[in-house]
Amino acid sequence: MAGHSQFKNIMHRKGRQDAARSKMFSKLAREITVAAKAGLPDPDMNPRLRLAVQNAKAQSMPKDNIERAIKKASGGDSENYEEVRYEGYGPGGVAVIVEALTDNRNRSASNVRAAFTKAGGSMGETGSVSFMFDRVGEIIYPASAGDAEKVMEAAIEAGAEDVQSDENGHVIICAFEDIGDVTTALEKSLGEAESVKAIWKPQTGTPVDEDRAQSILKLIATLEDDDDVQNVYANFEVDDETLAKLSAA
């Protein structure tokens, strides 16, 4: 069973909801500002901004916060954020990719390196693990969008490559360059998605036991708690029994 997405579900269920929600809004606002600054401040004319706003709405981010983030970009007084990717190995040789938006590369690199080291891992050069992942589009729909058969048919019609459905919802995978077209096609049959973004999808998984899984979970939580870090991806796998234990803990 693929590890990272399941572990993220566990982390969300376990709580820290209030603090995590505030931090999540801050990161969503940063992505909106960067997207608006990189192109036009109109979501209809700026695909990246449209996706950023869509994802913010899916997380119930207040409309005022979204508009403020867009205005911040056009006002000229916003920080200059850079997109940076860090790569390395966590406990058990698990490959980890960290995406950040930062106004201080030295600070971000130092924090990420410290997190890897504390977890018993090591940060490598850019490209040291990304060859083990594919850059793809991920489109998420809630379970209410329809049953697995309906979503599968819509995804095939839209040109997607894969669909995974369970009681929590539907995850649709497409080629990175097709994100816009597939999303638009899916909206016509399933409505607006809960989340649309480019992700790093592991080509193969690295099996880990319960102890290693806990260590990796802790590393991911530490990285995601950093204000500069936007996304974390890892290629570990756990069996159903271990997953059940961690879910209940």
Position 104 scores a pLDDT of 94
Q: What mean pLDDT value characterizes the chain?
A: 88
Concatenating the DSSP letter of every residue in the chain gives: -BSHHHHHHHHHHH--HHHHHHHHHHHHHHHHHHHHHHS-S-GGG-HHHHHHHHHHHHTT--HHHHHHHHHHHHHT-S---EEEEEEEE-GGG-EEEEEEEES-HHHHHHHHHHHHHHTT-EEE-TTSSGGGEEEEEEEEEEGGG--HHHHHHHHHHHT-SEEEEETTEEEEEEEGGGHHHHHHHHHHHH-S-SEEEEEEEESS-EE--HHHHHHHHHHHHHHHTSTTEEEEEE-EE--HHHHHHHHH-
Q: Which tens digit of pLDDT belongs to each residue from 124-178? A: 998 999 999 999 999 999 999 999 999 999 999 999 999 999 988 999 999 999 9
Which residues, at least 6 apart from 103, have a Cβ–Cβ distance to it below 8 Å? 79, 80, 81, 82
Note the pTM of the prediction, 2 decimals: 0.85
Where exactly does CATH 1.10.10.200 map onto the chain?
14-75
Q: Is residue 78 classed exposed, middle or buried when 0-12, 13-18 and 19+ CB atoms within 10 A define those classes?
A: middle
Q: In the CATH scheme, what is the homologous superfamily, with its name and number, of domain 14-75? A: Integrase, N-terminal zinc-binding domain (1.10.10.200)
Residue pLDDT, tens place only, 75-97: 766 678 899 999 999 998 999 99
**200-230, pLDDT tens digit by residue?**
999 998 898 889 988 998 999 999 999 999 9
pLDDT above 50 (res 244)? yes
Greatest Cα pair distance in the chain: 52
Residue 44 pLDDT level (bands cut at 50, 70, 90): confident
Superfamily of domain 82-131+204-248: YebC, transcriptional regulation domain (3.30.70.980)
The band of 248, judged by pLDDT with boundaries at 50, 70 and 90, is: low
Superfamily, domain 133-202: YebC, transcriptional regulation domain (3.30.70.980)
pLDDT of 14: 47
Q: What is the pLDDT of residue 78?
A: 63
C-alpha 30/C-alpha 16 separation (Å) is 21
- Token pair of 124, please? 């490598």
Rounded average pLDDT over 185-212: 91
The structure tokens listed for 170 are 């539907």
pLDDT of residue 74 exceeding 80:
no
The pLDDT of residue 17 = 56
Q: Considering the chain, tell me which residue range(s) the CATH 3.30.70.980 domain(s) occupy.
A: 82-131+204-248, 133-202
